[in-house]
Amino acid sequence: MLSRSIRGAAAATLAGTLAITAAACSKPGESGTAHGAGDSAVVGIAYEPETLSPLLGYGKDGNSKIFDGLLTFDDDMKLRPALAAELPQVSDDGRTYTYALREGVQFSDGEPFTSKDVVFTYRTILDKKTNNASKTELDAVKDVRAEGDHKVVFTLKYPYAPFAERTVLPIAPEHVAGEQDVNSGSFTTKPVGTGPYILTGWSKGEKLSFKANPGYWGGAPKVKKFTMAVIKDDDVRATRLRTGDLDGAILPPDLANTFKDDDGRTTYAARSFDYRTVTLPTHNKVAGDTDVRRALDVAVDRRAMVDKILDGAGKPAYGPVPTDSLWFAKGTERTHDLAEAKRILDEAGWKPGADGIRVKDGVRARFPLWYLSGDKLRQDHALAYASDAKKAGIDIKTQAGTWEVIMPRMKHDAVLAGGGAPGDPDFDQYTLLQSSLAGDAFNNMAWYDNPAVDKALKKGRESGETADRRAAYDTVQRELVKNPGYTFLTHIDHLYVVDDKWSGLTTQTEPHDHGLASGPWWNVEDWTPKK
Amino acid sequence: MARMAGRRTLFAAPVLLVVTFGVFAVAAASPFDPVKAYAGTAGLTASQENLDQLRANLGVDQPLVERWWRWLTSAVTGDLGDSSVMRQPVTDVITERLGWSVLLAVTAFLVAILLGTSLGVLAARRPGGWLDRAVSSAAYTLEAAPAFWLGLLAMWFFALELGVLPAGGLTDTDSDVVTFGQVATHLVLPAAVLGVSQLPWFFLYVRQGVADALDEDPVRGARARGLSERTVLLGHALRSGMLPTLTLVGSRVPELITGALLVETVFSWPGIAAAAVQAATSVDFPLLAALTVLATAAVLAGNLLSDLLYGLADPRVGFDG
């Protein structure tokens, strides 16, 4: 009896499956066709955000599509007012920032945006109970308070010139986010903001869908529907771009190259602050030696790395500031010069041993270099660096590991690190080079300790005068030539291939982190469909 | 039969208990740091103080047994806790994704069983014939082919070259509504790839089982009595040849889960498998424990199912055994 009913159930399941399969076969070719009008765009991205809540760190570098910050960056990385009506007024001592807010702005649920939301956002992020891993970036904030509905005043613990650049972080609505658990409430997946787009669906692991916000204070976007498909594998992303399923995608250089002769698509190379560097830990007998550091700095062939590893999509790096940035100290470029490297080492007493590896006072010129396992780009950089060093007589042993393995060794072992934040020169340089931050988590991984640099960094962040700041960061970069605590290798361009269906596409200078809003779609709200 | 099912279910409870504790223990011993995983790239610029605060907030600084006990006691009341990697309650993560994974796995499984069985019977009819040789060598090749590679190949051929099937996702990429027709078309490639990657085992077992059975006395007797080839093949040989295959049904479940993981990633299928990997590498205890319970339950149920089927197919096998 029972066995019969089981067989019946099996038959029913079978019939059901056949029905599904039949339905599947009856409508092939429906998808995979090009999207008709230019008012909808689909792009492929490689990383899925864990959360869409600004309170947990989403969109902290600005440009989050669903939200707006008080300020925003334009394509030149200049600050523009967004939810603030104008750029902030800074007090003479650099400790008070006053923002007048834009009036008449509404969240996408129809509630008005006021100063209360700003205060709520910043206070929640700074709250110890909030699991926001980026709150260190707001370290300077002592207090934030509202003055009436349309004015917000920040008071800082110390004068901090780049503070305005931090206020691009998105503002969350208190009436929604304040009503729930900030770390796991529904707001983290169903956000409500004031931005140009409204999230209509987030199918985790598949895609994020947006529709244009008709009541956007900056004007309703022309691209009415915007979809970000989450595709982790590079090859799959390229294939789906080729099938017409995607209108644009981020691709590594070799795959982007395969679209070069495509008439209907354009490749955009976004400049970036994304650097790869080798830390030369001060506590290592070899890497900590200034002469070894200087020798490595000229022994390395940066141009070859750009050409071979990055397929030309990048630039040689001499410090955290890219050579085409306004903050770059001209004349600090170092050319590849193996003879010079050998001369430096010879003069310093590092004499080649029998096997070609140099020795000084019984210390062999060798140290380990770690890179993140699975990251091919870092591996390639590490191997090229070791091979260049070998030619100068320095033996670098490359090893792969996860951060858990690498981190405890960073005081003595070199690491192939990456980073880069374009907002302000302080963002990268202070945390990379300030001696008091040595060994503080991932800050100052090389335990760099140079009083002249420390002084310049402090001046750079506290001074409100651009000329003073420029002089300070020039000093830092020149000190790095005399005593390079890191060998900076390359700045990497990010490549995007996009269909030619819209006009007005540009790219913004991008950080190390591939945010959702990187790429030509950083300003999708300004695209206009081509007729 | 009911007794066996009941006994197995009772037995499942301590197994699950041990497994969840094992997950907590292994995760705690793993070199991965949940705080670094939680912070992600932001952690690269965070101060030690900030990271320490996160460690306390996430509750990962507490001893292993205490953490496990707290998870267990709230889990039995239905509160599975919050997933740190997904920033949402574990129950939400599971309800959003589980259904899609089950749909994919069940369809793939049926494809593998039906296709594997029919090809196996056909091949066993003429061992060494052209069909047998062709399918057998294809099966051995497939056994070695990674599901990931099969997926890329299928996508290239059906989506790019022929343009007849969508390359990924649950629905058309620019569509927000989940309709039956869309899900069905989008299911074809991932389910076929996953099913085909499981097919060799079923094919080879059935082929062997049926071929052996055809040589056995009862079948030879049936043939001698002049019963039709069809009756002999399906009524007699398949029935006894299926027995080893039924055991296979249960034992393939774990393989199906790992296969689903790769297939889900290739096809951007919004299932639970991808979440499982993230949970593991991020040492997301609540999510990891809940998913392990699910996977263990699936394996136990798979084993129970194959034993039940075995009993049904072969009256000589008792249910208490």
Contacts of A443 in chain B (CB under 8 A): 45, 47
Contacts of A29 in chain B (CB under 8 A): 163-164
Overall average pLDDT of the A159-185 stretch? 94
Query: Under a CB-based contact definition with an 8 Å cutoff, are residues A394 and A295 in contact?
Result: yes
Say yes or no to pLDDT of B171 above 80.
Answer: yes
- Higher-confidence residue of A19 and A105: namely A105
Half-sphere exposure of A474 (CA within 13 A, CB side): 10
Say yes or no to pLDDT of A19 above 80.
Answer: no
Whether A443 and B47 lie within 8 Å, measured CB to CB: yes
Whether A403 and B36 lie within 8 Å, measured CB to CB: yes
Say yes or no to pLDDT of A232 above 90.
Answer: no
Confidence at B318, pLDDT banded by 50, 70, 90: low
Query: Under a CB-based contact definition with an 8 Å cutoff, are residues A381 and A369 in contact?
Result: no
- Is A5 within the bounds of a domain? no
* Cα distances (Å, whole numbers) of residue B84 to A52, A69, A120, A164: 14, 26, 23, 31
Say yes or no to pLDDT of B136 above 60.
Answer: yes
Amino acid at A318: Y
- Topology (CATH level 3) of domain B94-282: MetI-like fold (1.10.3720)
Nearest to A206 among B92, B159, B268 (CB): B268
User: By the CB < 8 Å criterion, does A419 face chain B?
Assistant: yes
Nearest to A498 by CA among A262, A252, A208: A262
* Residues A445, A518 within the same domain: no
Amino acid at A59: G
* Residues A297, A373 within the same domain: yes
- Please report, for the domain that includes residue A364, its CATH number: 3.10.105.10
Return d(Cα B19, Cα B27) in angstroms, integer. Answer: 12
Overall average pLDDT of the B280-286 stretch? 83
Q: How far is A243 from chain B (nearest CA, A)?
A: 5
Tokens of B92: 């939400």
Q: Which residues contact A504 (CB under 8 A, 6 or more apart)?
A: A523, A526, A527, A528
Query: Under a CB-based contact definition with an 8 Å cutoff, are residues B289 and B24 in contact?
Result: yes
Return d(Cα B168, Cα A32) in angstroms, integer. Answer: 10
Would you list the DSSP string of A99-163? EEBPSS-B-TTSPBP-HHHHHHHHHHHHSTTS--TTGGGGTTEEEEEESSSSEEEEEESS--TTH
- Is A267 within the bounds of a domain? no
Q: A489 φ, ψ to 5°?
A: -105, -65
Amino acid at B62: Q
Q: Looking at residue A407, what is its pLDDT?
A: 86
How many independent structural domains does chain A possess? 2
Burial of A89 (C-beta count, 10 Å sphere; 0-12/13-18/19+): exposed
Burial of A123 (C-beta count, 10 Å sphere; 0-12/13-18/19+): middle
Overall average pLDDT of the A313-341 stretch? 94
The parent domain of residue A99 ranges over 10-194+496-529
Q: Looking at residue B247, what is its pLDDT?
A: 76
Nearest to A50 among B47, B58, B87 (CB): B87
| Per-residue pLDDT reduced to its tens digit, A340-382 | 999 999 999 999 999 999 999 999 999 999 998 878 889 999 9
Nearest to A369 by CA among A343, A400, A408, A332: A400
Overall average pLDDT of the A52-57 stretch? 93
| Per-residue pLDDT reduced to its tens digit, A289-320 | 999 999 999 999 999 999 999 999 999 999 99
| Per-residue pLDDT reduced to its tens digit, A68-106 | 999 999 988 899 999 999 999 999 999 999 999 999 999
Q: Looking at residue B111, what is its pLDDT?
A: 93
Query: Under a CB-based contact definition with an 8 Å cutoff, are residues A422 and A274 in contact?
Result: no
Amino acid at A416: L
Query: Under a CB-based contact definition with an 8 Å cutoff, are residues B117 and B111 in contact?
Result: no
Q: Looking at residue B321, what is its pLDDT?
A: 47
Query: Under a CB-based contact definition with an 8 Å cutoff, are residues A25 and A476 in contact?
Result: no
User: By the CB < 8 Å criterion, does A239 face chain B?
Assistant: yes
Burial of A264 (C-beta count, 10 Å sphere; 0-12/13-18/19+): exposed
Half-sphere exposure of A458 (CA within 13 A, CB side): 9
Q: Where are the alpha helices (DSSP H) in chain B?
A: 2-29, 34-39, 48-58, 64-76, 90-125, 130-144, 147-154, 180-215, 217-224, 229-230, 238-241, 243-251, 253-266, 272-281, 285-313
Nearest-Cα residue of chain B relative to residue A200: B176
| Per-residue pLDDT reduced to its tens digit, B39-82 | 877 777 788 888 889 888 888 888 888 888 888 898 888 888 88
Name the A residues in 170-229 with CB < 8 Å from any B CB.
181, 183-184, 186, 188-189, 200-201, 203-207, 209, 225, 227, 229
Place of tokens 């997946």: A189
Name the A residues in 102-131 with CB < 8 Å from any B CB.
128-129, 131
Return d(Cα A59, Cα A518) in angstroms, integer. Answer: 11
Q: Looking at residue A490, what is its pLDDT?
A: 96
Buried b (16+ CB within 10 A) or exposed e, A469-491: bbebbbbbbbbbbebbbbbbbbb
Return d(Cα A425, Cα A75) in angstroms, integer. Answer: 17
* Residues A500, A487 within the same domain: no
Q: Which residues contact A25 (CB under 8 A, 6 or more apart)?
A: B188
Confidence at B16, pLDDT banded by 50, 70, 90: confident
* Residues A356, A407 within the same domain: yes
User: By the CB < 8 Å criterion, does A243 face chain B?
Assistant: yes
* Residues A444, A516 within the same domain: no
Contacts of A402 in chain B (CB under 8 A): 31-32
Return d(Cα B275, Cα B40) in angstroms, integer. Answer: 16
Confidence at A514, pLDDT banded by 50, 70, 90: low
- Higher-confidence residue of A37 and B106: namely B106
Q: How large is the C-alpha radius of gyration of chain B?
A: 24
Q: Which residues contact B134 (CB under 8 A, 6 or more apart)?
A: none
* Residues A347, A488 within the same domain: yes
Overall average pLDDT of the A416-444 stretch? 90
Confidence at B319, pLDDT banded by 50, 70, 90: low
- Higher-confidence residue of B214 and A451: namely A451
- Please report, for the domain that includes residue A512, its CATH number: 3.90.76.10
Confidence at A24, pLDDT banded by 50, 70, 90: very low
Contacts of B150 in chain A (CB under 8 A): none
Contacts of A230 in chain B (CB under 8 A): 268
| Residue A381: alpha-carbon gap to chain centroid | 19
Q: Looking at residue B320, what is its pLDDT?
A: 57
Nearest-Cα residue of chain B relative to residue A205: B270
Overall average pLDDT of the B204-211 stretch? 87
Nearest-Cα residue of chain B relative to residue A210: B176
Say yes or no to pLDDT of A39 above 80.
Answer: yes
Half-sphere exposure of A70 (CA within 13 A, CB side): 28
Q: Looking at residue A36, what is its pLDDT?
A: 52
Most confident of A233-247, A380-394, B161-175: A380-394
- Is A221 within the bounds of a domain? no
* Cα distances (Å, whole numbers) of residue A228 to A204, A493, A523: 11, 21, 14
Q: Looking at residue A4, what is its pLDDT?
A: 41
- The residue extents of the domains of chain B are 94-282
| Terminal Cα-to-Cα distance of chain B (whole angstroms) | 10
Maximum C-alpha span of chain A: 95
Name the A residues in 265-324 with CB < 8 Å from any B CB.
none
Whether B312 and A3 lie within 8 Å, measured CB to CB: yes
